[in-house]
Amino acid sequence: MRPAVLLSEPIHPDGRRLLEERAAVTVAASVDSAALLEHADRVDAVILRARGRLDRDFFRQAPRLKVVGRYGVGVDNIDLDAAAEHAVTVVNTAGLNAQSVAEHAVAMMFALARRLHRQDRAVRDRDWSARDALGGSELAGATVGVIGFGAIGRAVAAICHLGLGMRVLYHDPFRVTGADDGLAASPVSLDDLLRDSDVVTVHVPLTPRTRHLIGAARLRAMRPHALLVNVSRGDVVDEDALAAALADGTIAGAGLDVFAQEPPAASAPILSAPNTVLTPHSAALTEEAARRMSVGVATDVLAVLGGGPAARPVPHPTTTGSAT
């Protein structure tokens, strides 16, 4: 009998075709936990995207489950303890979306530094005089602070340093020796990074240790002209504290691709905060990255179902370092 694979949401067709060659594939009706749980007792594998969650109840009610594939990097929506207890392998697509996410982060830096969101609005409002006030500043020669120096953080550093001549600082207690080769990147404490950076960009997984890593006190430690970019997980940054810091000029601007609640509630303060560029958790969703992720996760899921090793197994949270 062909193994049964449940997709929480559709994935790129190239990956789905690989799965359908060797498995029976079903797409869940929704990403709600109840909708996913309806399939638990008859699936051998689940591929989960950023929405939806596999909690302890799912693993308890899924006796055939062998592998969970995360179409993406962050695994905060998978109960890794429960997976380990039920001998379920968890895989993700670490590194496969790094270039797309890095380019998105740098695009946000450019948009904020050159005030493109405000210039766009000025043209639509026929306020041509705004051109003299909204020129912004160059990134070349500025200092970028990278929090989390995994594959995405290093890709951001490469674009910033090799393409723009930016000075690179980074903070990552799990840094791999030699990870900064060719980037002239300097390891520093988090406090020093926040104090000395013109742009701070966040690339860490969401764990109890990193929840609200950037809160009110650390925002106050940043330079008044500094920009903050978060393309990792929404709860790594205290969103309400960030909205307040933008409103009172503690920092100059922020670009967010991720939010504490997705989509944000209509009343979320960050939606009305000034000098922001907000995108709908889309940094990894280029055509190129979507194809790489779908093929990568499908290949690993099929490998585990066939009794083989995975290329990108997810370690237990106690050993997890930078977002990659």
**Catalytic-labelled residue, pool 16, 175, 281, 312:** 281
**Catalytic-labelled residue, pool 21, 85, 138, 262:** 262
- Dihedral sign computed on CA atoms, order 147, 150, 153, 154: positive
DSSP E strands, 236-310: 253-256, 276-278
Q: pLDDT tens for residues 2-14? A: 999 999 999 999 9
Note if 175 is an active site residue.
no
Note if 281 is an active site residue.
yes
Whether pLDDT at 318 is above 60: no
**CA 278 → CA 176, 211, 251, 281, distances in Å?**
31, 20, 16, 9
Average pLDDT for the chain: 94
Question: What is the number of other CB atoms lying within 10 angstroms of the CB of residue 13?
Answer: 12
**CB of 46 within 8 A of CB of 6?**
yes
Least confident of 64-73, 115-124, 166-175, 211-220: 166-175
Question: What is the number of other CB atoms lying within 10 angstroms of the CB of residue 12?
Answer: 19
Q: pLDDT tens for residues 132-146? A: 999 999 999 999 999
**Catalytic-labelled residue, pool 233, 239, 292, 312:** 233
- The pLDDT of residue 175 is 73
Band (182; pLDDT cuts 50, 70, 90): confident
CA 200 to chain centre: 15
Whether pLDDT at 323 is above 50: no
Please name the residue that has the structure tokens 């530094």: 113
CA-to-CA distance for 311 and 297, rounded, in angstroms?
9
Whether pLDDT at 320 is above 50: no
- The pLDDT of residue 321 is 46
